[in-house]
Amino acid sequence: MTDAAVAKFVAFLNDAPNDHIRLSVKQEGPTGFMYDLQIESPPWTDDDLVDRSNGFTIVVSPRDSIYLDGATIDWETRPDGTEGFKFNNPNAIEQ
- The confidence score (pLDDT) of residue 71 equals 92
* 19: exposed, middle or buried (Cβ count in 10 Å: 0-12, 13-18, 19+): middle
Instruction: Spell out the per-residue pLDDT of the chain, length 95, in tens.
Output: 999 999 999 999 998 989 999 999 998 766 678 899 999 999 999 999 999 999 999 999 999 999 899 999 999 999 999 999 999 988 777 65
- The confidence score (pLDDT) of residue 62 equals 96
> What is the pTM assigned to this prediction?
0.86
